[in-house]
């Protein structure tokens, strides 16, 4: 037990438990220390600059990071350290480094809108939201590589939604169900959810036009959670039947202008040289229609800019929407007639989607990126399929349900993590097993919506656990009957 390194491992286990209580040990033995969050930013910066945390790190996206040069303390405004050199995945980069206590400080301190932080090469932090991913982006919406100091990873505070984040009363009955029973429960819940989406699209089609329902549905899927409503409003203010009558540049002028992205300041003072030609083309058309389209101040579309992946900047989402409309004739048949292998068709369609400007730009103002950027990534594609294409198609062809079941999962998000924690507790294996496919994720979200979000009693009055026994009973009866 005392041989090397068993004793150290035993102590390390003990230490990690102690740390979870906010108490640490040091080389002198067991010493109670405050949690790291009580250290000031400057103390941690000093430890960083002094090399106390080492030189080699792993970025939040798995990048291999080596600090070649810690640079200099900045004595003026701007990032904390200047003239630093960092090797990221083998590529040497130079520029400032910013160190914050919380990753969200980047936005709350206004760095994301401050040109002085534009060339930052690394954002180092100790803490952040425990379930949400928070991206660091520059004014030009360039993604800045992040490092969470591993020494502080344990110090994350309680989940931001603590009242809802505990394992629920249904963990035990779910654990007593076998995998097939749980799978069938999720499958049923997901089918119910899909049907709700089909009904919604049908109602929207009846109220407006099938093409407009499709257009709005796709716009919402492109907007993701944070800009779903904003994109829906944009699609409503720029109806597809009007956009289809316009040539490409007029259509884009209409979309970007209605979105509120064509203010004169961007064009005249902020845009990079490379972007000005495109903006000039948009402006030449926009000023002619502006008077009849531009919303007044308080009617402007409220976009959410912070915390999104750079690729999901709202301007890129509008660019992707414009590209979809450009290819509308090849998209419409997917909606109108039965198609075998919908996923493959939509995948090919999205892969071939291009736009001369948006294939290289994060925003209207930014410099071109070195590499081409996909207009629609895998997760947006999956949401377009799951929220619009399949719900629309299944109304005409019920046999595509089997195809729906083969759609792979999307990246986890806060709601999904919350749902799987509440239903499966700490059972990681089951959390993983039952979030591998899109329909399973949808089933989980449906149960969460139907029961967890309806419950105001911290589970004690929720009927779901008792109903599970009934579900189990029914499942075993139908199995023996089969
Ligand atoms: S509210 Fe109901 S479904 Fe949600 S975790 Fe509690 S018991 Fe489970």
Condensed to tens digits (0 to 9), the pLDDT of residues 141-155 reads 889 999 998 777 644
Query: What distance lies between CA 104 and its chain's CA centroid?
Result: 15
**Is the predicted pLDDT of residue 242 greater than 80, yes or no?**
yes
Q: Count CB-CB contacts under 10 A for residue 367.
A: 15
In short, whether 464's Cβ falls inside 6 Å of ligand 1 is yes
pLDDT at residue 162 greater than cutoff 50: no
pLDDT (mean) for 438-449 = 92
pTM for the full model?
0.70
Q: Whose CA is nearest to atom 4 of ligand 1?
A: 452
Signed CA dihedral, 58, 368, 231, 339: sign only: negative
pLDDT over 60 (residue 160): no
The mean per-residue pLDDT over the stretch 313-319 comes to: 94
Structure tokens belonging to residue 98: 């910013």
Please choose from 422, 423, 460 the residue to mutate so as to test ligand 1's pocket, defined by most ligand atoms within 8 A of CB: 422
What local confidence, expressed as pLDDT, does residue 9 receive?
47
The answer to whether 282 and 256 have CB atoms below 8 angstroms apart is yes
Give the number of the atom of ligand 1 that is nearest the alpha carbon of residue 454: 1
Mean pLDDT rounded to a whole number for the chain? 82
Residue spans per domain, the chain: 1-33, 36-155, 171-184+409-481, 200-404
Inter-axis angle of helices 414-424 and 438-447, nearest 10: 70
Backbone angles phi, psi at 100, to 5 degrees: -125, 155
Mean pLDDT of 302-313: 82
Q: Ligand 1 pocket, 418 CB below 6 A?
A: no
For residue 7, pLDDT beyond 80: no
Rounded Cα gap, residues 226 and 232, in angstroms: 12
Q: Is residue 220 helix, strand or coil?
A: helix
Which is more confident, 10 or 126?
126
CA of 464 to the centre of ligand 1 (A): 6
| Residue 133 CA to ligand 1 centre (angstroms) | 25
pLDDT at 25 over 50: no
Q: What is the pLDDT of residue 152?
A: 74
Tell me which of 161, 166, 167, 168 to substitute to probe ligand 1's pocket, judged by most ligand atoms within 8 Å of the beta carbon: 168
Would you call 78 helix, strand, or coil by DSSP? coil
CB of 455 sitting under 6 A from ligand 1: yes
Closest CA to 49 of 88, 83, 19: 83
Which stretches within 388-437 are classed as H helix?
390-394, 401-404, 414-424, 428-433
Nearest 5°: CA angle at 65, between 108 and 151?
Answer: 65
Q: Could you tell me if residue 300 is left (phi over 0), alpha (psi between -120 and 50 degrees) or otherwise beta?
A: beta
Cα(55)–Cα(147) distance, rounded to whole angstroms? 12
User: What letter would DSSP give residue 143?
Assistant: B
Q: How far apart are the C-alpha atoms of 97 and 105, rounded to whole Å?
A: 14
Higher per-residue pLDDT: 164 or 131: 131
Q: Which residue has the higher pLDDT, 34 or 115?
A: 115
Task: Identify the pLDDT of residue 377.
Answer: 85
Place of tokens 């002198």: 28
Residue 169 CB less than 6 A away from ligand 1 = yes
- Whether residue 170 has its Cβ less than 6 Å from ligand 1: yes
The helix, strand and coil proportions of the chain, stated in percent and rounded to the nearest 5, come to 55, 10, 35
Distances in Å between the Cα of 438 and the Cα atoms of 163, 223, 225, 387, 423 are: 27, 19, 17, 11, 17
How far apart are the CA of 408 and the centre of ligand 1, in A?
26
Nearest to 204 by CA among 302, 335, 334: 335
Pocket of ligand 1 contains residue 451 by CB under 6 Å: yes
Task: List, as one string, the DSSP characters of 100-160.
Answer: EEETTHHHHTTGGG-GGGTT--EEEEEE--SSS----B-TT-PBPPEEE-GGGGGG--S-T
CB atoms within 10 A of CB 92: 12
């Amino acid at each position: 037990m005392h041989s090397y390194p068993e004793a150290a491992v035993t102590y390390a286990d003990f230490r990690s438990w102690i740390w979870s209580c906010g108490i640490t040990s040091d080389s002198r033995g067991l010493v109670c220390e405050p949690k790291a969050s009580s250290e000031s930013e400057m103390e941690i910066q000093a430890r960083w600059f002094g090399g106390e945390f080492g030189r080699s790190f792993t970025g939040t996206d798995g990048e291999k990071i080596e600090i070649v040069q810690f640079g200099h303390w900045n004595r003026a405004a701007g990032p904390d350290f200047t003239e630093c050199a960092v090797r990221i995945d083998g590529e040497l980069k130079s520029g400032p480094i910013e160190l914050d206590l919380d990753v969200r400080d980047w936005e709350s301190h206004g760095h994301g809108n401050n040109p002085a932080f534009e060339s930052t090469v690394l954002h180092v932090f100790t803490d952040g939201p425990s379930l949400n991913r928070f991206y660091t982006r520059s004014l030009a919406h360039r993604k800045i590589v992040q490092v969470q100091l591993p020494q502080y990873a344990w110090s994350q505070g309680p989940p931001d939604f603590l009242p809802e984040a505990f394992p629920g009363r249904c963990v035990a009955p779910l654990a007593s169900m076998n995998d097939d029973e749980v799978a069938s429960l999720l499958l049923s819940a997901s089918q119910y959810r899909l049907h709700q989406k089909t009904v919604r699209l049908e109602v929207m089609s009846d109220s407006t036009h099938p093409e407009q329902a499709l257009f709005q549905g796709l716009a919402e899927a492109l907007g993701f959670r944070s800009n779903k409503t904003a994109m829906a409003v944009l699609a409503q203010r720029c109806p597809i039947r009007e956009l289809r009558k316009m040539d490409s540049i007029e259509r884009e002028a209409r979309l970007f202008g209605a979105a509120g992205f064509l203010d004169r300041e961007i064009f005249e003072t902020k845009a990079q040289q490379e972007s000005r030609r495109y903006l000039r083309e948009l402006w030449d058309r926009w000023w002619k229609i502006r008077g009849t389209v531009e919303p007044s101040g308080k009617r402007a579309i409220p976009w959410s800019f912070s915390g999104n992946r750079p690729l999901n900047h709202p301007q890129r989402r509008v660019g992707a929407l414009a590209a979809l409309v450009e290819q509308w004739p090849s998209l419409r048949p997917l909606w109108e007639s039965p198609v075998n292998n919908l996923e493959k068709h939509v995948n090919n369609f999205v892969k071939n989607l291009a736009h001369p400007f948006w294939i290289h730009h994060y925003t209207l103002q930014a410099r071109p990126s070195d590499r081409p950027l996909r207009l629609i990534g895998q997760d947006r594609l999956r949401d377009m399929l799951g929220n619009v294409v399949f719900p629309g198609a299944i109304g005409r062809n019920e046999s595509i349900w089997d195809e729906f079941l083969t759609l792979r999962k999307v990246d986890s998000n806060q709601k999904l993590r919350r749902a799987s924690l509440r239903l499966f507790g700490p059972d990681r294996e089951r959390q993983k097993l039952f979030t591998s496919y899109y329909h399973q994720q949808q089933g989980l979200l449906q149960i969460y919506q139907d029961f967890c979000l309806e419950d105001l009693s911290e589970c004690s009055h929720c009927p779901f656990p008792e109903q599970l026994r009934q579900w189990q009973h029914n499942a075993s009866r139908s199995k023996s009957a089969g």
